[in-house]
Structure 1
Amino acid sequence: PLREWVPRREEWLAELLHYEGHCEFTAEYCPRCGDHNAETRCLDCDDLTLYCQACIVTMHKRSPFHQLKVRSQTIPQSGTDKFGLCIQMGHPTGDRCPNPQRMWGDDFVVLDVSGIHQVGLDFCNCESVQPHDVQLLHARLFPAT
């Protein structure tokens, strides 16, 4: 296998460097909305397409722990909250609470198999609200402290 690979190592290196850049996606505008600059992609999704910040946030409401990359600058895994991505407790994914309670200065830390993530998190503060620990458990997050 190594003897077969050695003659093609330059080709492999070029492909890996190509992936680290923008690949074939050089469009100025977001392919999803067509309105904003396409400069962000997800390093954890299979899709290498560049999207605008608003679309990447919408697309990651169900995957808030993915690592996002803006042009040539990687946002740390703990940085999805910097994009305005916020996990809403007590309501279906994608729905906003009419009476949210923002937690810990919007710096909620989650330990996940992919790393330590600092995310925005709002607890539901509606009339029929569950306790915070129960809201976390419903979201499959285990409360630690």
Structure 2
Amino acid sequence: MISREPTIERLATARQLLLEPFGLDESHLSRALAEIRANQVDDADLYFQYTRAEGWSLEEGIVKTGSFSIDQGVGVRAVSGEKTAFAYSDDISEASLLDAARTVRAISGSHQQRKVRIPKTTIAPSRTLYPGI
């Protein structure tokens, strides 16, 4: 029998690192997938990314340079017939997730060959990363 503990543990880690810090939960993911399914796509995926990197350069025991970077975002993929659509935002928020979901659902046209006009989207408001001094 295969243990479910590792899967449950991984889901808890993903929830803690990718959803909760950005005010998201499973209901937001369900809402985004429902937005995509509104146009009857065949398949859809949500991808979350969060990477932190830190580097230090020492010379004779003295710190000469330091660097720190964060790479984050959310991507959405939808498949309709032989067509695939992708959308990505480097802002992990409910607004960005729903914007990406609405963008990729436009590929579904009941498998018809036609041009689709995607309405101009507004950029989601950004979050304050640092408190004011």
TM-score by length of 1: 0.29
Greater strand proportion = 2
What TM-score do you get using the length of structure 2 for normalisation? Answer: 0.31
Q: Which structure ranks higher in relative contact order (CA pairs < 8 Å, sequence separation ≥ 6)?
A: 2
